[in-house]
Amino acid sequence: MSDARTVLVTGGNRGIGRKIAEEFLASGYKVAVTSRNGEAPEGAMAVAADVTDPASMDAAFTAIEAELGPVEIIVANAGITKDNLLMRMSDEEFDAVVNTNLGGAFRTVKRGITNMIRAKWGRIVLISSVSGMYGVAGQANYSSSKAALVGMARSISRELGGRGITANVVAPGFINTEMTAELPEKQQKEYLSAIPAKRFAEPEEVAKVVRWVASDEAAYITGAVIPVDGGLGMGH
């Protein structure tokens, strides 16, 4: 595509974010990927940036704009877990997860919207989790941060919906990544029995939904929560 749109995927060096970046690349988009270690799939512009640091995100945007042009699609995907039962959860464990998952999305989107407003076109996709709506024991920090992304997307939709900008949440369930591989086998079996689709998903199944919700075809979808969870979170 000569008039290919520019996409930024935060946390795109591995896992779901990497698949999202690869999906956009395969569809002909110009793709920039940020992560703390600065790696990226082949064909993407790699930028080392920490979503908890506004100066580093600002520098990343400036570098991407210089090389690929204004960012038109933001996929706020960078995220961490620090699970613990509430009684044992430290302030550090709570703050680190909220600051990365929620604060990181805020900083990324805040830096990116000026160009979208100017262009009267933009797509913001926040990667949440079924955990945010469903609740998971041991994830008071993570679930809170992921649920809050729904409020963020809906507020952005009300602020910027009239300017050709959409803001949506994609909420994956259990996806085959490093994050889920670390779960004990007993826990994996319990989750599998609760998932109507009776399987975990592959990261590409999330990536294709993200690519579509960022397309022109999805112009009238905003403030939505799109589950990719095999039915696990139905009704939540």
Q: Which residues bind ligand NDP (CB under 6 A)?
A: 10-11, 13-17, 35-37, 50-52, 77-80, 100, 127, 129, 172, 174-175, 177-180
Minimum distance of ligand NDP from residue 47's CB (angstroms): 10
Q: How far apart are CA 116 and CA 134, in angstroms?
A: 32
Minimum distance of ligand NDP from residue 176's CB (angstroms): 8
Q: Of 4 and 109, which has the nearer Cβ to ligand NDP?
A: 109
Minimum distance of ligand NDP from residue 220's CB (angstroms): 25
On the 0-12 / 13-18 / 19+ scale of CB atoms within 10 A, 37 is: exposed
Minimum distance of ligand NDP from residue 22's CB (angstroms): 13
Q: Of 130 and 156, which has the nearer Cβ to ligand NDP?
A: 130
The residue number whose beta carbon is nearest to ligand NDP equals 15
C-alpha distances out from residue 100 to 77, 97, 105, Å: 10, 5, 8
Residue type, position 216, single letter? D
Give the residue ranges of DSSP H helices in the chain: 15-26, 54-68, 91-98, 104-119, 130-134, 140-160, 178-181, 185-194, 203-213
Only one residue has tokens 């946390």, namely 11
Residue type, position 214, single letter? A
Out of 134, 142, 191, 220, pick the active-site residue: 142
Planar angle of CA 161, 27, 198, nearest 5 degrees: 85
Q: Of 34 and 222, which has the nearer Cβ to ligand NDP?
A: 34
Q: Of 118 and 189, which has the nearer Cβ to ligand NDP?
A: 189
Whether 142 is a known active-site residue: answer yes
Q: How many CB atoms lie within 10 A of CB 164?
A: 14
Annotated catalytic sites, by residue?
142
